[in-house]
Amino acid sequence: MQSKKRRRLEPPSIHPRNRYSENPPDFHLLASLYPSFKPYVFSSPRDGRARIDWTDFNATRELTRVLLLHDHSLNWWIPDGQLCPTVPNRSNYIHWIEDLLSSDVVEKIDGCGDGVRGFDIGTGANCIYPLLGASLRGWRFVGSDVTDVALEWAQRNVESNPHLSDLIEIRQAEDILPREETGTDQLLPGEIALNSEEKLSNDSCIVQKVGMISDERKVYQGPPVLVGVVRDGEKFDFCMCNPPFFESIAEAGRNPKSSCGGTLEEMVCPGGEQAFITRIIEDSVALKHSFRWFTSMVGRKANLKLLTSKLREVGVSVVKTTEFVQGYTCRWGLGWSFMSPTRKMITSQVPEKNHQSFMLEGLQRQFGAMQVLKLVESFFLASGACCKCNLSSFIVDINASHQNCDAILNYGPHISGECVSQCPYETTSGTNSLPSPLDELSFRVSVFEQIPGTLLVRGSLPNRQSRLSGLFSSIFQKLEETLKKEIKDKGNRRCGTKQAVEWQGSLLQDLRFLSLDELEDMGIKRISEALSTEQISLKIPWSLVVAYFSVSVVACMFTFGLGMDI
């Protein structure tokens, strides 16, 4: 229920820097400019708009070809049946990577040479990401793949664009061990993906042949992904991947609403995306110093959760997620890094139309999603705005009048300030008339925990009809500034306490070597008494005694006013 409601409130978004975000492709124009595209375009009997038949592979391929040519000056082609990328959709991923690289969340990596260098895992015959990344941003790429057709056509697509060919290297992800060394009755890495159409054409055959995939833990058994493909000493700013999403042919099915092609080798891998991305995660541990960011597209939200917890297990320093929504398709982006976080709390670099978001990173334990949600509520209540907080969904819905917005922007409410609610819905006198929705700014703030210590605060404005909607981004910015300041101030106060405790820890190390008499001489009576009772020394572990002692000493210090601020 909740998710449906949320979906209604948060309209699908395309990355704001995506060239198609404001101007979707104009089929009429393209048909008039490119005669080869014209036969695929017709006017919709419903509204007269130019359309194509999305279930016709030739139409979708021709659209991709003319869009790449018209908007990106790229020459491009793929053979029948190969996966045909939609250009606006794939551009979103490139722009997100760009956000990650410019976000400064993790340290820069040395050794990539000039400019940005990326690794596209499974570049496909279409080679779409290297082509877009190189043409949009001038990035250098290694694009890997395993099938002959993908490697051949990716290379052709690079060579058809001589202005970019120096930037893109196509590399085969080869088995590390030569065939003989693996033994004959063993399933060879890549056998399923590479060798036999027949094997792939039988769904049950995949499962039987692989045989090693347990239901609980899906294990990737294919060719190498990063380890063994990345060369010694190579450094990259990022890797990206649109993995084979499906575990079986049946699961891959076919989207009746569109025909983007896609061979079995492109769409299916034993264990599906979960196994494939898990392999990327495992490889990332081994190559943690070779990449600044590891990223992958994820097709299922359930997998996103599961993979995020795997990332926690392997000890990444930061995890980022995003949603790629384009038409009927919704995918997620998952990014992680092992580089040291710069500990900056960063704002999304991108001004979104109906969404604003920022991250709070490196948070101490007292700032969980719940506490931050409460701070958000207090922030708006302090300006007199009307807030409805749903603690179980981590959402606050806000209605702000012109006056409230003015208070936020010009006077800057303090989180701890007086709450002067002027919410007209709450009056009992019945004299307040409801303001017109045009004079009210209604928006929602949600708080998501990404990993412990990292929260995403997201604001969404469901409609922009209000006369006040232009204030949304400034108000959200004000919220960001205020929250960060509040968290920093509280954090600093806690920090004083933490230092005191650390100092006590080192003191205790020294005290451990003193005799009971010496402790008593120092006036530390209680603990020395405890230590001298046999009962305690037998049953209570030393670490507990130390903890107890530590608390007592710290409490003493506060009692005597040693300047620590709790």
Ligand X SMILES: C[S@@+](CC[C@H](N)C(=O)[O-])C[C@H]1O[C@@H](n2cnc3c(N)ncnc32)[C@H](O)[C@@H]1O
> Where on the chain is the footprint of ligand X (CB under 6 A)?
83, 85, 121-124, 126, 128-129, 144-147, 150, 173, 193, 222-223, 225, 242, 244, 265-266, 269
Minimum distance from residue 19 beta carbon to ligand X (Å): 18
Distance CA 372, CA 406 (A): 23
Closest to ligand X by CB, 223 or 333:
223
Minimum distance from residue 408 beta carbon to ligand X (Å): 43
Instruction: Give CA angle at 228 (226, 231), nearest 5°.
Output: 90
- DSSP states of 376-406: HHHHHHTTT-EEEEETTTTEEEEEE-HHHHH
Instruction: Give CA angle at 64 (58, 68), nearest 5°.
Output: 145
Q: How far is CA 272 from the centre of its chain?
A: 20
Minimum distance from residue 242 beta carbon to ligand X (Å): 3
Minimum distance from residue 222 beta carbon to ligand X (Å): 5
Partners of 295 in the β-ladder: 335
Tokens of 491: 């954090």
Closest to ligand X by CB, 106 or 128:
128
Side chain identity, residue 210: V
What is the biggest distance separating any 2 CA atoms in the chain, rounded to whole angstroms?
98
Minimum distance from residue 92 beta carbon to ligand X (Å): 12
Contact 340/107 with Cβ under 8 angstroms? Answer: yes
Strands 318-326 and 329-337: antiparallel
Minimum distance from residue 266 beta carbon to ligand X (Å): 4
Collapsing DSSP to helix, strand or coil, 301 comes out as helix
Minimum distance from residue 173 beta carbon to ligand X (Å): 4
Task: Please report which helix (H) or strand (E) contains residue 241, including its range.
Answer: strand 236-241
Closest to ligand X by CB, 176 or 438:
176
Closest to ligand X by CB, 277 or 372:
277
Alpha helices in 343-471 (DSSP H): 369-381, 402-406
Residue with the shortest CB distance to ligand X: 122
Give me the sign of the Cα torsion angle 206, 208, 214, 215: positive
Minimum distance from residue 276 beta carbon to ligand X (Å): 7
Distance CA 423, CA 421 (A): 5
Contact 142/173 with Cβ under 8 angstroms? Answer: no
Minimum distance from residue 460 beta carbon to ligand X (Å): 28
Tokens of 32: 């008039």
Q: How far is CA 442 from the centre of its chain?
A: 27
Query: Which region holds residue 462: left if phi is over 0, alpha if psi is between -120 and 50, else beta?
Result: alpha
Closest to ligand X by CB, 173 or 304:
173
